Structure 1
């Protein structure tokens, strides 16, 4: 019986190293063999062409030999790129910094999706990028009208060998001038809507101690819009100008005097919208007008007297008679009293819950 003799681990390791070295040599030979034809085509060697001499008419019968002329043959390459002296093609493009490319991408993302990103923290910005400027072209697919198979680049159907004709369909189909104009208008409308309804960019460096102000660009490059809390616009009209001149002169902003007649704002000056239920004694900051109804309160129990109470009228809570110490109520906001019917219904519901 023949016994299988196995090698030591050191011998197996040496064999593997030799095999790897052989593979590397074969790979290098293959690469060199591929690059040699390219060098031959880029540099054509000069060949000496011998031009045969024509016999000269004369008494001598031996032909005279013409010296050979050295000519260089040039192979015309229409689509080949320009070559340099070293045989390398000239790059027809431009070198752009890598930081510029990523900054443009970040700007497009922020304009479209409202993202605020710093490309320096995501991508390496060192070095340059080679870019070739090419015109934008639309990829058009054509289908054979006989077998509905796609046509190749040469315009021939691979299935039925039909040549492209006017009946073969396009995708995307050709559009008329009216459709192109409608597409331009729709694109302009979408751009206007995006500018008008721009996304609010979040502030990632938010500080809770600072007041947050939300902003967005205005329409047609106008003033920047700032978000504010919804407030009701109140208009006050001067009662003197309205009564004597018939003019609706409004008070400007928070000023308390009429800009035309310099009349102090009083309780008789109408308010739009009126809120007599919340301000029955007048609005804050108003002076008492001639038509205002006075309201007093008792200086002992602070209960209100009925509207237009005279001196000597008795308070229904403490039986105190109205005197000069009882002050007139200034214009202020009054919380409405709860409805007794509502209180009664709530009490009944609570009693029913206790019984259950």
Structure 2
């Protein structure tokens, strides 16, 4: 009896439950049940679809740096220290370099310093632009138009260029008491600076007996032991200022030259007279002696011989006449009217 009941059709209650379940799943808006319904077969057995392989991470490519020709590796801290040092030397202050982050290497190329050249028109003094025509007077740039900075002189291999010496005058305004030493850099490397000194003429004296040069600072000839006198020539010569000889010289042994004497009372110099050992000097002893212009003292045996010294030239009479005429023209003449 149980066998036919098992082989018969399924009861209607099971079919009704399956259909109602599918209707409720289709009516819902979200697919949560649908997904869970469709995923039931996958849970029953393994899936036949192969798993997709995971992609490998891409290798990191570092950017390549093109090192220029002539570049050297330096540290960033060294560059900052050089900048601080140059600024400190320029403004005479002490600057500490600031650290901006971690120190790293960088590349540096040493290049020559370039200067911008300016050209100006020699007609209207206007500055030229990028073209060669003046914007004001339409003048084409020529060789007469000045350039700043001026063009350097090309150095030749054989001829050495002599540095230009500038005439610098010290400032004595307000009567400065301290001595100002003016210096300029030496063109030779690692040499002491050049000190400005007053230009002086080197004087050479020659012995008139043996034609030997006197040593600097001596008055006795090294060859013939002759004492330097007024006859010894001087180079350069100054006969107009020192006709009787130069200061420090001995008296001349030439009796043909006239001599001078000083008044022993007022030290005034008498006019030149013939040498006492010459024929004219012996004949002049019988005449009346010269009289001093200042103290009216006649020249005597006590009046010493005047040493060689500078002689002031006599004033030109024409110059004195013109000066007197100008002073007379400036003088105020009385009109004869009294207040």
Q: TM-score, normalised by structure 2?
A: 0.49
> When you count helix as a share of all residues, which structure comes out higher?
1
TM-score, structure 1 as length reference: 0.47
